[in-house]
């Protein structure tokens, strides 16, 4: 081999030879870009078009967004958004009150905590959809075990059409989701409690603090960062809710859209369902972009705030 004039091709090869480790990054980068980054960018692009999924795409600028915020979809969008916010508030409250409460109980007991931990986390390992189907059976108004239980113990007034009453449907679904998901915050809080340095507790005891005071002044402030992390995750989770509602109420998120959230609205617009097959892929993409525009800044913000609380 004699000396070559460095052509573009060979200097590229030289670059690869020198930095051959970059090849190791390539597979991940490729997969990630093709299946995550590219579709995301495309989502934004599709949102400016009217498109049924196949055939011609018509450019309509901000038309889809207009439909969502001011047009035919406004009523549905606002209602779904309200339901997501409601879900977040309830979900976060439940996980903070009961998650932290049960974690404190686990922290304080002298034995059995391992067994409890395993039991509490069990529902988290189950598929959301399967949990939904199970509870659909349990909550059946005619034969479901829940209503039967209430009737058997004489609490007849508690035998309600849980999933059929517009006022009860969403709270019921949130209760089911809590049944499934509480194990996670419980264990996360427990780990955070266990990570509190002993000196703090010792110092408090020396100062004569009793049980509740220790909780209020030592534990709770020190787990604030964890609370923020859990709040962020709760926010992300409730804004992505779909599986459970789909399993319990179908894509139409009844009764009368009482359980409609952004996720089910998105699915319905994009893929149809419930007897209709309206596929507005452009409109669906626009909804996705809107959801994302809410999700990203808020979770980013919450993440920053939680970092600030870290000692």
Which of these segments, 5-13, 21-29, 61-69, 88-96, binds another protein (CB under 8 A)?
21-29
Q: Which is nearer to another protein, 81 or 289 (CB)?
A: 289
Question: Distance from CA of residue 56 to its chain's centroid?
Answer: 35
Nearer to another protein, 5 or 21 (CB): 21
DSSP 281-307: HHHHHHHHHHHHHHHHHHHHHHHHHHH
Among 66, 217, 299, 309, the residue binding another protein under the rule CB under 8 A is 299
Considering only residues 101 to 130 of the shown chain, the ones binding another protein according to CB under 8 A are 101-102, 105-110, 112, 116-130
> Which residue's CB is nearer to another protein, number 3 or number 277?
277
Token pair for 57 = 């795409």
Residue from 3, 5, 9, 27 that binds another protein (CB under 8 A)?
27
Bridge partners of 273? 276
- The counts of H helices and E strands in the chain are 18, 2
Question: How far apart are CB 4 and another protein at their closest, in Å?
Answer: 25
Beta-sheet pairing, 49-50 with 58-59: antiparallel
**How many CB atoms within 10 Å of residue 49?**
19
CA dihedral 256, 262, 266, 269 (to 10 degrees): 30
CB of 55 to another protein, least distance (A): 7
Which of 21, 154, 157, 206 touches another protein by CB under 8 A? Answer: 21
Q: How far apart are CA 288 and CA 295, in angstroms?
A: 10
274: left (phi over 0), alpha (psi -120 to 50) or beta: left
Residue number with CB closer to another protein (2 or 106): 106
Q: Which of residues 154-213 bind another protein (CB under 8 A)?
A: 159-167, 179, 183-184, 187-188, 191-192, 194-196, 198, 201-202, 205, 211
- Using CB under 8 A, which residues numbered 32 to 91 contact another protein? 32, 34-40, 42-43, 46, 52-55, 72
Q: Does the footprint of another protein cover residue 96 (CB under 8 A)?
A: no
């Amino acid at each position: 081999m004699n000396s070559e004039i460095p052509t573009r091709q060979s200097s590229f090869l030289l670059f690869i030879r020198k930095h051959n480790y970059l090849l190791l990054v390539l597979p991940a980068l490729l997969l990630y870009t093709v299946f995550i980054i590219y579709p995301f960018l495309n989502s934004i692009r599709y949102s400016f078009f009217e498109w049924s999924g196949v055939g011609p795409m018509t450019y309509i600028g901000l038309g889809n967004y207009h439909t969502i915020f001011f047009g035919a979809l406004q009523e549905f969008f606002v209602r779904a958004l309200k339901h997501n916010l409601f879900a977040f508030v309830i979900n976060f409250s439940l996980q903070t009150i009961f998650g932290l409460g049960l974690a404190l109980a686990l922290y304080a007991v002298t034995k059995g905590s391992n067994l409890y931990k395993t039991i509490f986390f069990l529902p988290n390992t189950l598929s959301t959809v399967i949990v939904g189907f199970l509870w659909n059976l349990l909550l059946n108004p005619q034969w479901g075990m829940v209503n039967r239980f209430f009737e058997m113990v004489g609490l007849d007034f508690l035998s309600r059409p849980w999933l059929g009453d517009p006022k009860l449907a969403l709270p019921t679904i949130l209760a089911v989701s809590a049944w499934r998901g509480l194990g996670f915050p419980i264990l996360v809080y427990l780990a955070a409690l266990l990570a509190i340095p002993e000196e703090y507790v010792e110092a408090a005891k020396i100062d004569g603090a009793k049980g509740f005071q220790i909780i209020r002044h030592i534990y709770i402030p020190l787990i604030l960062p964890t609370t923020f992390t859990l709040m962020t995750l709760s926010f992300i989770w409730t804004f992505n809710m779909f599986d459970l509602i789909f399993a319990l109420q179908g894509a139409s998120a009844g009764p009368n859209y009482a359980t409609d959230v952004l996720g089910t609205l998105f699915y319905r617009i994009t893929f149809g369902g419930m007897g209709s097959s309206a596929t507005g892929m452009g409109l669906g993409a626009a909804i996705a972009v809107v959801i994302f525009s809410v999700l990203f800044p808020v979770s980013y913000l919450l993440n920053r705030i939680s970092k600030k609380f870290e000692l």
